[in-house]
């Protein structure tokens, strides 16, 4: 593929990702607008609706700053440091009303998309999870929004906005971050070859563990020990810690087979949700 063709493909990818980000931000805003009480608890979280929405607004602002080339230190990538940074940012940002937060979420998402579209190349921004290509940064933004958007929709008893096509745009981030979020206490000493296939499309990737070291490839393994076939929405929700993997297996949303099918149920526990 020559340079001009490659640029056309990259431009189309950025346009699709940008559309997914904009639509997800709009969907989250629609969930929030009209919520009279933002003090309700978010299921499975210590945050209220107002706190979760405030965090999302602040995170979108952070991503937009990074996309524009600004330096924004935010923890060291460990779950403990990210939790501390989240608590600190919420402590100094007092807005908890639904409509102002909805407006901020959409405005900052738009600013990030514009910055990513304006500058295709350049130094890799240093994100809360380390240096990251700019296209992956956009995928990170979308993944983060969908996780918290799902939480807000559940808390407010509204339909969520996580769908298979949008999960596809999350995959560049998911694949890039998996080695960094591997749980070393669980992967230690494990050697295994996985192929993960997302239902309803051609998306598949490979994960190799060699004595605990994790390597992720954007194509399936040739001779995997275990192949996992999973609904894409379920994959993302399990990966983000929003869905119980055992319940998903019991409902037939996850299928594992191959030479060592017993490795399938172990896979979700190999990683800590970012």
CA distance 102 to 150: 15
Strand partners, 271: 182
Instruction: List per-residue pLDDT tens for the chain, 274 residues long.
Output: 344 433 433 454 467 999 999 999 999 999 999 888 999 999 999 999 999 999 999 999 999 999 999 999 888 888 889 999 999 999 999 999 999 999 999 999 999 999 988 876 667 889 999 899 888 999 999 999 999 999 999 999 999 999 999 999 999 999 999 999 999 999 999 999 999 999 987 789 999 999 889 999 999 998 999 999 999 999 999 999 999 999 999 999 999 999 999 999 999 999 988 7
DSSP secondary structure letters along 142-169: HHHHHHHHHHHHHHTT------HHHHHH
* CATH superfamily of this structure's domain 184-270: SCP2 sterol-binding domain (3.30.1050.10)
- Tell me, yes or no, if the pTM score tops 0.85: yes
Q: What's 3-167's CATH class?
A: mainly alpha
Strand ordering across the sheet containing 213-217: 213-217, 204-210, 192-198, 226-230, 254-257
Domain boundaries, the chain: 3-167, 184-270
| Nearest CA-CA partner of 149 in 43, 40, 28, 266 | 28
DSSP secondary structure letters along 164-185: HHHHHHHHHHHHHHTTTTB-HH
């Amino acid at each position: 593929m020559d340079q001009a063709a490659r640029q056309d493909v990259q431009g189309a990818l950025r346009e699709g990702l940008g559309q997914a980000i904009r639509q997800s931000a709009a969907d989250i805003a629609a969930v929030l607008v009209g919520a009279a009480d933002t003090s309700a608890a978010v299921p499975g979280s210590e945050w209220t609706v107002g706190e979760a929405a405030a965090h999302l607004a602040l995170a979108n602002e952070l991503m937009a700053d990074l996309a524009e080339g600004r330096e924004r230190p935010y923890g060291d990538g460990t779950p403990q440091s990210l939790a501390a940074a989240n608590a600190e940012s919420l402590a100094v940002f007092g807005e908890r009303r639904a409509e102002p937060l909805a407006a901020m979420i959409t405005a900052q998402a738009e600013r990030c998309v514009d910055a990513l579209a304006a500058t295709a190349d350049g130094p890799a921004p240093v994100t809360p999870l380390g240096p990251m290509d700019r296209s992956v940064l956009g995928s990170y933004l979308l993944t983060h929004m969908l996780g918290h958007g799902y939480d807000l929709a559940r808390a407010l008893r509204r339909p969520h906005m996580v769908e298979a096509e949008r999960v596809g745009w999350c995959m560049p981030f998911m694949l890039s971050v998996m080695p960094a979020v591997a749980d070393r206490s669980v992967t230690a000493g494990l050697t295994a070859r996985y192929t993960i296939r997302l239902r309803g499309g051609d998306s598949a990737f490979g994960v190799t563990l060699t004595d605990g070291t994790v390597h992720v490839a954007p194509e399936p393994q040739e001779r995997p020990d275990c192949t996992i076939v999973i609904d894409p929405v379920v994959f993302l929700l399990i990966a983000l810690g929003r869905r119980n993997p055992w319940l998903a297996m019991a409902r037939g949303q996850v299928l594992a087979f191959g030479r060592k099918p017993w490795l399938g149920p172990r896979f979700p526990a190999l990683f800590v949700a970012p």
